[in-house]
């Protein structure tokens, strides 16, 4: 197994670690999580740890793609595992935010449904010999989602100090781009999906 694929697998392994850190019953074990205050905005050490883990996982996403392209290490397994690792990471973070009551469930459901539909479109079109490459909007969606997660983990700092709801705006921008990119995927595959044979 080459290095890019190992990095993708490492990203997948980090996902359950992130979940464990996020939902561990610290109070039951009488563990106090320090909270730091910046003016009137608080951020816990737990959020900082989650941010570090998420940043490491996100960096491996950039790194495995860069290494695979630069050294021509692109493999069929890599094409399969890389997007799965990405979606596991991003969708798990948003599900954790819903679980914690931080983001509205409808926003996350829309992004999850889009991913399921796009995956189905890709599966159908690949069966017909048509390859659906990740489009520009798909990449914008991923970057927007990652930025949204970072700002949410920072409790909207530093924007909260200026009363700017950047986390909310980024979330709904991510939803909008996600749905728009899903629409373009459908448009690209429409001839295959709607054929009568």
Q: Is pLDDT of 196 > 60?
A: no
Domain over 3-193 is classified CATH 1.20.120.1760? yes
- 68-122, pLDDT tens digit by residue? 888 888 888 888 888 889 999 999 999 999 999 999 999 999 999 999 998 888 8
Distances in Å between the Cα of 106 and the Cα atoms of 110, 115, 118, 176 are 6, 14, 18, 12
Segment 140-166 mean pLDDT = 95
Predicted model pTM: 0.91
Q: Is pLDDT of 124 > 90?
A: no
6: left (phi over 0), alpha (psi -120 to 50) or beta: alpha
Confidence band, pLDDT 50/70/90 cuts, at residue 52? very high
Question: Among 56-65, 118-127, 188-197, which is the least confidently predicted range?
Answer: 188-197
- Kindly list the domain boundaries of the chain, sorted by start residue: 3-193
Highest mean pLDDT: which of 58-62, 134-138, 174-178? 174-178
């Amino acid at each position: 197994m080459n290095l890019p694929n190992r990095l993708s697998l490492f990203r997948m392994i980090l996902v359950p670690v992130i979940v464990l850190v996020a939902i561990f019953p610290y109070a039951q074990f009488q563990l106090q999580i320090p909270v730091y205050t910046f003016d009137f905005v608080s951020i816990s050490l737990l959020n900082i740890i989650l941010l570090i883990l998420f940043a490491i996982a996100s960096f491996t996403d950039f790194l495995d793609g860069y290494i695979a392209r630069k050294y021509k290490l692109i493999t069929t397994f890599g094409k399969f595992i890389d997007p799965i690792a990405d979606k596991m990471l991003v969708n798990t973070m948003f599900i954790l935010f819903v679980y914690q009551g931080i983001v509205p469930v409808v926003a996350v459901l829309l992004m999850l449904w889009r991913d399921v539909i796009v995956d189905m479109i890709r599966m159908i079109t690949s069966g017909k010999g048509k390859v659906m490459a990740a489009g520009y909007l798909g990449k914008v969606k991923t970057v927007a989602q990652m930025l949204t997660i970072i700002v949410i983990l920072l409790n909207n700092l530093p924007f909260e100090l200026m009363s700017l709801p950047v986390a909310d705006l980024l979330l709904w921008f991510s939803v909008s781009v996600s749905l728009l990119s899903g629409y373009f995927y459908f448009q690209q595959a429409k001839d295959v999906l709607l054929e009568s044979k």
